Amino acid sequence: MSAEEERAWRAYRRMYATLEAQLARELAATGLSMADYTVLSDLVELPDRDWLRRRQTPKQDLPKLRITELADYMGWSQSRLSHHLARMERRGLVRREKDPTDARSAVVVLTREGLRAITGATGTHMSGVRRHFLDLLTPRQLATLARIGETVVAHLEEEA
């Protein structure tokens, strides 16, 4: 590794660790872990996003999603998501239901309590991302970072 390479690699890793810890601390005040937050916000966003295409979840219902779909989207293993959902279910944040279209499948449903939790946490989290990250960087830096991330991910997904 050249000196420049080492500088970049170290800075990148240190940024991730420090930023992650800070965001987790702030989020903990709302009663959620980072993992909880990701699950809940993906659960809110994802069914809505392709609602027109899939016509599964009417707007007035609570968001629901097949567990595999959620795991794929999040890049989590089924096992990891299953364990995490079990814990969240105990806390009343989500509920599991059978998929009517495929008896092997299950869907996760956001509960009213889960909706309240994610609604309350979103402001805190977004503001943290903004203050500790977005607002510190120029549009050009953000664009470069996006490009870097997409390049690395594309390369890794190609290999697999």
Partner DNA sequence: TAAGATTGAGCTGTCAATCTTA
Partner DNA sequence: TAAGATTGACAGCTCAATCTTA
Question: Per-residue x/- marks for DNA, 18-57, CB under 7 A?
Answer: ---x---x--x----x-xx---------------------
Among 56, 82, 111, 124, binds DNA (CB under 7 A): 82
> What minimum distance in Å lies between the beta carbon of 51 and DNA?
19
- Please report whether residue 45 would count as binding its own copies according to CB under 8 A: no
**Number of residues binding to DNA, judged by CB under 7 A:** 30
H, E, C per residue of 4-57: HHHHHHHHHHHHHHHHHHHHHHHHHCCCCCHHHHHHHHHHHHHHHHCHHHHCCC
| Amino acid at residue number 36 | D
| Two tokens, residue 148 | 């870097």
- Please report whether residue 112 would count as binding DNA according to CB under 7 A: no
Task: Please say which residue, 22 or 56, places its beta carbon nearer to its own copies.
Answer: 22
Radius of gyration of the CA atoms of the chain, in A: 18
